[in-house]
Amino acid sequence: MTETETLFAPASGFGRAAVAVIRISGPAARHVLVAFGGALPGPRRLALRTLRDPADGTELDRALVAWFPGPKTYSGEDMAELHLHGGPAIRMGVLAALARMPGCRAAAPGAFTRRAVLNGRMDLAEAEAVADLIDAETEGQRRQALRQLDGALSRQVAAWRARAIDSLASAEAALDFADEGDVDEAGLDAALLGAVAGLRQEIAAALHDGRRGERLRDGFTVVLAGAPNAGKSTLLNALSRRDVAIVSEIAGTTRDAIEVRLDLGGLPVILVDTAGLRETADSLEAEGIVRTQARIDAADLVLLLVPPGDDPPDLGASGIPVLPITTKADLFAGSLESEGTGALRVSARTGQGLEALLDAIQAAAENGLGPGDALITRARHRAALEACVGHLDRLLAGAGGLPELAAEDLRLAVRALGEVAGHVGVEDVLDRLFAGFCIGK
């Protein structure tokens, strides 16, 4: 699609609804609105219009329309909205009529937000926050996405980039005027290295956050591990309050990981049921066990399920926090916590210990995600900032060397910081990002 095309797409969900919103953006938005509804309404005011197909005058709907003249719009260009009755036939009829309008094209996923980035209405980090806000499933994810949409990361990176550019200007000035007698090269070098060291320390401190932002965005992963028939699938069903996993007395029923997402205190938690850990000659079950070990190694927390009287299986040297759970508590009497083991006793059948287990998982998630707001929320942000730190480290390690190399390291550091907000080299990032958007955003 080109900037000369006018895009249209439904901005509301599909299916039967009270209202369906069609968004139109581009140079022909005004003409389209007049062609469908007659007189143009006042800017940013809803007006009732009878919508007709420009091709033959067929009445399509009686709807509310809105006109948003650019550039102070979401996309930075002229926009219009049609607030239709929500029946599928009405929506499809209007979309078909729009497709017949010259210069109009159906929008691809994320097309409106992509134009907002290209027109300077938001930067790339803020556009990513839009996607995160749409995908947010918990209160914590919503707050984090709104903070990024408000420019928390963009402002901080812009400040770092300005300081890096100042250092680069000093380094280039030293190169340009190195033959001038009144230039204090030693003083300039000391000031430059001090500024670079301070900048490097701040960025490195932001990176040293335990990946809290990414973990909140993706979810705190809790793996249910144990021997076959330890009660993993039964516990998963009980915690999720629905039958998501097949439960059977036949050992080795679960072969692949099954995931369930929970909202615990506003935090996203992913419960993962896995294949039972044991020695087996069954190649299919063995592959499931290999995948189980991989999920354990990548988990944020492991629930080690052990029935009464059984020995716990070996989880390997993963270093992941483990919460021991004694399952099938309804089969024996005792307190909620197993004597001398620290393991929680639970019964998926009677519900004993389930609330205590959920509280323990929530506490682990809160501890794992840490207090305060995260600055870095995506792997792309982290990679760019790590690259910047790498260039600054190289400059500091080569202090006293060729000034040309120092200037080049600073240029690369500035470029790496620019990649976060989308100032340089992000065409491939744009394609990947907006492919994951919903249509109409």
How many CA atoms, within 13 angstroms, populate the side-chain half-sphere of residue 336? 7
Q: Are residues 113 and 203 in the same domain?
A: no
Number of domains in the chain: 3
Q: Are residues 150 and 173 in the same domain?
A: yes
Q: Are residues 249 and 311 in the same domain?
A: yes
432 belongs to a structural domain: no
Q: For residue 305, what is the domain's CATH number?
A: 3.40.50.300
Q: Are residues 364 and 226 in the same domain?
A: yes
Q: Are residues 55 and 71 in the same domain?
A: yes
Residue 142 has φ and ψ, to the nearest 5°, of -65, -45
Residue 277 has φ and ψ, to the nearest 5°, of -90, 120
Q: Could you tell me where the DSSP H helices lie in 251-378?
A: 283-298, 354-369
Q: Are residues 266 and 146 in the same domain?
A: no
Residues contacting 301, CB < 8 A, separation 6+ = 220, 221, 222, 223, 320, 321, 322, 323, 361, 364, 365, 368
Q: Are residues 114 and 180 in the same domain?
A: no
Which of 67, 92, 123 is at the close of a domain?
123
β-pairing, 267-273 with 220-226? parallel
Tens digit of each residue's pLDDT (9 = 90 or more) over 260-294 = 898 988 889 999 988 877 777 677 767 777 888 88
Q: Are residues 174 and 313 in the same domain?
A: no
267 belongs to a structural domain: yes
Q: For residue 399, what is the domain's CATH number?
A: 1.20.120.430
Q: Are residues 259 and 363 in the same domain?
A: yes
Which structural domain, as residue segments, surrounds residue 132? 128-209+376-422
Residue that has been written with the tokens 């996923």 in this structure: 109
Look at residues 368, 104, 428, 347 and name the one whose alpha carbon lies nearest to residue 214: 368
Average pLDDT, integer, range 22-42: 94
Single pTM value for the model: 0.79
258 three-class SS: strand
Tens digit of each residue's pLDDT (9 = 90 or more) over 369-427 = 877 788 999 999 999 999 999 999 999 888 656 677 888 899 999 999 999 988 765 56
N-to-C CA span, the chain: 15
Question: Rg for the chain (alpha carbons), in Å?
Answer: 29
Q: Are residues 272 and 135 in the same domain?
A: no
Q: Are residues 172 and 280 in the same domain?
A: no
How many other CB atoms are there within 10 angstroms of residue 337's CB atom? 14
Q: Are residues 258 and 347 in the same domain?
A: yes
**CA 14/CA 416 separation, integer angstroms:** 40
